[in-house]
Amino acid sequence: MSKTLPRRKRASLEKDRRALIEEPPEEGGRDEAAAFIGETLGPLVRLARRHQLDLLLHLLAMAQLEAEEHVRLRSKRKLS
């Protein structure tokens, strides 16, 4: 048997969604997050490669490329 969860009201769901999107004032913005993620994934990519974890290697490398691309495009727009 599985219990069904009580239905939540739309306003409550919207409030939760907004809380996830908004960042606390002590954290950086999207650009800083992308830069941090790109830097952090480097050692994880090397670890996955060393242990021949091919699927993880692929996913981590793609995430690293995406983060670096975001930073590159964002800095290019700021220069314009």
Task: Give pLDDT tens digits for 20-77.
Answer: 555 555 678 999 999 999 999 999 999 999 999 999 999 999 999 999 999 999 877 7
Task: Give pLDDT tens digits for 40-54.
Answer: 999 999 999 999 999
Which tokens go with 30? Answer: 């999207």
pTM for this structure? 0.61
